[in-house]
Amino acid sequence: MAQPFVKKLSQLPGFKGEGVTFLEEHEAETISSNYVRLSKGQSTTVGNHDDEEEVYIIMGGRASLRLNQTVYEVEFGDVVYIPRDTEHQATCISEEDFEYICVANWPDRIPGQPVHHK
């Protein structure tokens, strides 16, 4: 059974770099979460998950975000929903680092069972 907790994001290893996972798959029943930071021109790898939904909460900077064939410009204060089977990639387009929190959900996961990425 998952247990409640509080963590200080700024104190986790990796926070000063490109990002850090702060809610591990074994710490929650059906979600995971991480913080991502990209410098100007830097991109995430292309993602597409048939078993996972994601929400991005934009915390700083601006990025070009491709969701399938549509490209959006996102910035601080935006919230992005990425459903299953959506190809996605973010590229920082600002001088300021692009920062976001990603919350991933596996709707079909049975609590207590490991996540099997497809």
User: Which CATH number characterizes residue 70's domain?
Assistant: 2.60.120.10
CA angle, 83 as apex, 37 and 100 as ends, to 5°? 15
Structural contact between residues 44 and 19, judged by C-beta atoms closer than 8 angstroms: no
3-state secondary structure of 105: strand
Provide, rounded to the nearest whole percent, the portion of the chain with pLDDT above 90. Answer: 58
| DSSP characters over 10-33 | GGSTTTTTTEEEEE-GGGSSSEEE
Residue 75 lies in a domain: yes
What pTM was computed for the model? 0.83
Do 87 and 66 form a contact (C-beta atoms < 8 A)? yes
Domain-embedded: residue 111: no
pLDDT tens per residue, range 67-115:
999 999 999 999 999 999 999 999 999 999 999 999 999 888 766 666 5
pLDDT, position 107: 81
Q: Which two tokens stand for residue 113?
A: 């069972």
The answer to the question of residue 35 being in a domain is yes
Q: What is the pLDDT of residue 12?
A: 74
Residue 28 confidence (pLDDT): 78
Residue 17 banded pLDDT, cuts 50, 70, 90: low
**Cα torsion 45, 68, 91, 25: sign:** negative
- Residue 10, pLDDT > 80, answer no
Mean pLDDT of all residues belonging to the chain: 87
The whole domain housing 65 covers 15-105
Calculate mean pLDDT across residues 13-33.
73
Mean pLDDT along residues 55-72: 97
Report if residue 4 sits inside a domain: no
